[in-house]
Each structure stands twice: as structure tokens, then as C-alpha cells.
């Protein structure tokens, strides 16, 4: 096949991107969005297959009054235009990839930059912005669950090297920001006894090594999604180090003690007690003490004093990102309530940000023989 000139190649890519817009609009108009509910005892969780997203978590406070404790929207269509990642599974690589590129096995992969010069949460169209399949939905059993799946294309192939490649497949490749290997991902939400919600994320690379780092991006406000800011929430994090970042929020590669800093939550403190010592609020990855991929550790406890609601979090991931909704501003949410800065907190268990560019960080590379598995468990109670 004769090699195309750079100019012609650029024109073809531009035309394909235009086709992509039309194709996506047509598909989105016909996509079947689903709202699924899991209920067990006093706990109710609603989810949608757009982004495998948590839409609501309803549970009682100390007085038995029920409330929805996650931020989001009433209309499922609004999740398609959401830029805050409310409740979604983010990936293929959650958090940030510095310089929108990485090198794997001697080959450099260039990604789509969607936050300055960096790639955030998988790029312009990550796993939070696609329709997942509902693989299994068992709402009427003792431990009700739903499993979502998504098949991600291999984006590494030479654009002009396969004559049989259809334009549709080519466009899908452009959407995936050039991550290598086809990848099948599965996320299962399950309700267990004792007001517990488990989240299991799995990924299977089909033909070559690739980075994978999925994160669950729910915005929690245990006082209720419409109760104002979370600065009075008390939080404890079982992590004595962080991965400090530069001005563009890319890790420096160091692991630094939090002792004597505003990041120290080894003993419980209110979120707002030292937040003014930071430029914007908390948005940092904590290094979980005693981490093991083969077992889960308690990593966080959050308590909301007015409602008495308490949330404990376990995971097998090496890190957890504490984010205090610093960029949230005048977002119209459920029942018309307007979400503002510090209106919720996120606890995103994860691999370390930009691990693909820091060999000293725990590896995020999975292979056809080494699948990805990420486990989370939330336990809710009142105090």
C-alpha cells in the first residue's frame, strides 16, 4: 500500500473525526440508557450503564431519616455531558498521565491531552463517557448485584497499515487515545449484609501489555447530596505518605511523609480544619500503609456529625486520591440543587497517578496472562 503524505493523512484524520461526531450523535440518540436499582435492608443503590455510574445511594441517618448521599443528576441524559465524572468508573488510566504520553517496551505512546498538556481519566472519551453493557442483573437474590462490561479497542495499530480496517474501527481507535491492546473490563456492584456495598473491577488485556488503572469516582456527602459543604466531615486515612505533585498535578516521583502537614489524617480531623493551608483544597494521592494486592485494607473512615452517618472504605489498591470537589462550581444537580465548591469528597482507590512514567511506583501494566483486579468495599453505619 502506497504511503500517504502527512498532509493527506491529516485531512483524512480530520474527516474521520467529523464522521465520529456524526456517528456518536446518532449512536447516542439510539443508545438505551438504563437505570438499575439494588436494594438490601436499609440500603438502596441506583446505577446506570452510562459510565457504569453510581446514580444514588440512599440510607438512613441516626434518626431513621433516609437521604441520598451522592451527588448527581435526576435525568440520565445529563450524565452524557457531565465533566465532573459524577459516580462514574474512570479509565483506561484514571487520574493523570504526564505529558500525555508514556513508553512501554521501548515504544512511546502519545495520548490525547485533555487537561493542559496531560491526559486525565483516560482522555477526551474515557470509560466514563461510553455506554457499558449490562452483563448480569440480579436484583432479587440475597446479595443483589449488577455486572457491567465494556470492550475497549486496540489503539496502537498503524493507521494506514491495514487495508481491511473499516472507517468505523479506525474512528473508534482515534477515540481511545492510543492505549495499546484490546481490553475487556468488567465492574460488579454488590450489596452485602451489614449495609455494605462492594465494587469489583476487572480488566483483561487481549493481545499485548497495556496500562490499566480504573477508579470509582463517586462524590460523597454523608449529610445528603443537598446539605452543603463537607468541611465539617471528619476523616481518617490510614496512609502516612503521599505522592507530591508539581504545578500541573503530576507526581514528582517521590514518596513523602505527611507528618506535620495539612495532609495528615492518621488521626481523625475535620476536612476543613486545615484546608485553608492548601491553595485550593485536597487533591492528592495517599500511599496506603501495609498495602497488598492479594488482600484488602481499611483505608478511610468518614463521619458526618449532623446526620451521624459513617462510611468505612476497604481496598486492595496501593493508593487513594482524596479530592474535595475543588473545581465544582454552580452545577445544577438533583431536584434542582446547585452543587458548589467542597460540596462533596471523593475517595478514589487507585494505582498511583502517572505510574506509567515512574518506574519506582507500583506497576499498572497488565498483560494477557496478568489481569487487572481492583476491589473496594464500603460499609455504612451511624454513630
Residues identified as active-site: 217, 348
Q: Work out the angle at residue 222's Cα, subtended by the Cα atoms of residues 58 and 332, and round it to the nearest 5 degrees.
A: 80
Of 70, 192, 185, give the one whose Cα is nearest residue 141. Answer: 192
Q: Work out the angle at residue 335's Cα, subtended by the Cα atoms of residues 330 and 339, and round it to the nearest 5 degrees.
A: 20
Alpha helices by DSSP H, 303-371: none
Q: CA-to-CA distance for 295 and 290, rounded, in angstroms? A: 10
Number of Cβ within a 10 Å radius of residue 226: 17
- CA–CA distances in Å: residue 309 to residues 59, 130, 237, 342: 9, 33, 17, 18
Has 303 been labeled as part of a binding site?
no
Has 283 been labeled as part of a binding site?
yes
Q: CA-to-CA distance for 366 and 319, rounded, in angstroms? A: 17
Q: Work out the angle at residue 380's Cα, subtended by the Cα atoms of residues 320 and 383, and round it to the nearest 5 degrees.
A: 110
Phi, psi of 17, deg, nearest 5: -65, -35
Per the structure block, which three cell numbers stand in for 309?
452517618
Per the structure block, which three cell numbers stand in for 174?
482515534
Number of Cβ within a 10 Å radius of residue 253: 14
Q: Work out the angle at residue 190's Cα, subtended by the Cα atoms of residues 185 and 192, and round it to the nearest 5 degrees.
A: 155
Has 218 been labeled as part of a binding site?
yes
List all residues 6 or more positions away from 78 whose beta carbon is below 8 Å from its beta carbon.
none
List all residues 6 or more positions away from 136 whose beta carbon is below 8 Å from its beta carbon.
145, 146, 147
Has 95 been labeled as part of a binding site?
yes
DSSP string, 165-210: --HHHHHHHHHTTT--S-EEEEEEEEEETTTEEEEEEEEEESSS-E
Binding residues for beta-D-galactose: 95-96, 217-219, 283
Q: Which residues are annotated as a binding site?
A: 95-96, 217-219, 283
Amino acid at each position: 500500500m502506497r504511503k500517504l503524505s502527512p498532509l493527506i493523512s491529516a485531512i483524512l484524520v480530520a474527516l474521520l473525526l467529523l464522521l465520529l461526531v456524526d456517528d456518536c450523535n446518532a449512536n447516542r440518540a439510539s443508545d438505551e440508557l438504563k437505570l438499575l436499582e439494588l436494594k438490601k435492608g436499609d440500603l438502596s443503590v441506583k446505577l446506570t450503564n452510562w459510565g457504569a455510574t453510581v446514580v444514588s445511594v440512599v440510607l438512613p441517618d441516626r434518626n431513621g431519616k433516609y437521604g441520598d448521599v451522592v451527588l448527581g443528576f435526576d435525568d440520565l441524559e445529563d450524565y452524557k455531558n457531565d465533566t465532573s465524572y459524577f459516580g462514574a468508573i474512570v479509565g483506561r488510566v484514571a487520574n493523570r498521565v504526564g505529558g500525555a504520553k508514556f513508553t512501554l517496551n521501548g515504544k512511546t505512546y502519545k495520548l490525547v491531552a485533555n487537561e493542559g498538556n496531560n491526559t486525565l481519566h483516560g482522555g477526551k472519551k474515557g470509560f466514563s463517557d461510553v455506554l457499558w453493557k449490562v452483563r448480569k442483573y440480579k436484583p432479587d437474590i440475597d446479595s443483589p448485584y449488577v455486572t457491567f462490561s465494556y470492550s475497549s479497542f486496540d489503539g496502537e495499530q498503524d493507521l494506514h497499515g491495514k487495508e481491511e480496517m473499516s472507517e468505523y474501527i479506525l474512528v473508534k481507535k482515534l477515540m481511545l487515545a492510543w492505549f495499546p491492546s484490546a481490553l475487556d473490563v468488567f465492574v460488579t456492584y454488590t450489596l452485602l449484609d451489614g449495609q455494605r456495598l462492594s465494587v469489583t473491577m476487572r480488566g483483561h488485556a487481549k493481545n499485548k501489555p497495556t496500562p490499566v488503572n480504573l477508579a470509582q469516582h463517586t462524590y460523597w456527602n454523608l449529610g445528603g447530596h443537598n446539605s452543603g459543604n463537607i468541611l465539617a466531615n471528619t476523616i481518617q486515612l490510614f496512609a502516612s505518605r503521599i505522592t507530591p505533585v508539581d504545578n500541573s498535578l503530576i507526581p514528582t516521583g517521590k514518596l513523602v511523609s505527611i507528618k506535620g502537614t495539612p495532609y495528615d489524617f492518621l488521626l481523625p480531623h475535620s476536612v476543613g480544619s486545615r484546608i485553608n493551608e492548601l491553595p485550593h483544597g485536597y487533591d492528592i494521592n495517599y500511599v496506603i500503609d501495609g498495602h497488598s494486592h492479594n488482600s484488602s485494607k481499611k483505608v478511610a473512615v468518614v463521619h458526618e456529625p449532623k446526620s451521624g452517618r459513617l462510611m468505612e472504605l476497604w481496598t486492595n489498591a496501593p493508593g487513594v486520591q482524596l479530592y474535595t470537589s475543588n473545581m465544582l462550581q454552580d452545577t445544577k444537580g438533583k431536584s434542582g440543587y446547585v452543587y458548589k465548591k467542597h460540596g462533596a469528597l471523593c475517595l478514589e482507590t487507585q494505582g498511583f497517578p502517572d505510574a506509567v512514567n515512574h518506574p519506582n511506583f507500583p506497576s499498572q501494566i497488565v498483560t494477557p496472562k496478568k489481569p487487572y483486579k481492583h476491589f473496594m468495599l464500603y460499609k455504612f453505619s451511624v454513630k
